């Protein structure tokens, strides 16, 4: 079945540091890939997505590129801020299903 694997957290960085959160997947066919973010006390929010190979999703300084050859969708940001502290979930939808398959989430803590 479909699955998503994320690096375990927490990831602790200083402000303005470079961020990478790794995400790899297994899926039948050609999935769409997503990054969701959950801020404390709030629901999951879509951060970015990519629907086909080599697409790059970007939003709020975050980027992720759909790499079919490595089945990866790593999240990156060049300079993190304290306000980026949250839990980040990698997810996919495949086979025409709108429901999502999620990774376990990675907690990011950014210190001033």
Partner 1 sequence: GAVVSQHPSRVICKSGTSVKIECRSLDFQATTMFWYRQFPKQSLMLMATSNEGSKATYEQGVEKDKFLINHASLTLSTLTVTSAHPEDSSFYICSAGVSGETQYFGPGTRLLVL
Binder of partner 1 out of 14, 46, 60, 81 (CB under 8 A): 46
49 sits near partner 1 (criterion: CB under 8 A): yes
**What is the distance between the alpha carbons of residues 23 and 4, in angstroms, rounded to a whole number?**
7
Q: Which residues does 40 contact at the CB level (< 8 Å), separation at least 6?
A: 86
CB under 8 A: which stretch of 20-28, 52-60, 64-72, 95-103 binds partner 1? 95-103
Contact 80, 17 (CB under 8 A): yes
Point out which residues bind partner 1 (CB under 8 A). 4, 32, 34, 36, 41-46, 49, 51, 89, 93, 98-105
């Amino acid at each position: 079945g479909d699955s998503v694997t994320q690096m375990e957290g927490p990831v602790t960085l200083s402000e303005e540091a470079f961020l990478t959160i790794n995400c790899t997947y297994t899926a039948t066919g050609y999935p769409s890939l997503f990054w969701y973010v959950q801020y404390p006390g709030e629901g999951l929010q879509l951060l970015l997505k990519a629907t086909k190979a080599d697409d790059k999703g970007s939003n709020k300084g975050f980027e992720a590129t759909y790499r079919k050859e490595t089945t990866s969708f790593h999240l990156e940001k060049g300079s993190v801020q304290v306000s980026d502290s949250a839990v980040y979930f990698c997810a996919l939808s495949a086979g025409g299903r709108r429901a999502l398959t999620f990774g376990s989430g990675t907690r990011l803590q950014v210190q001033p």
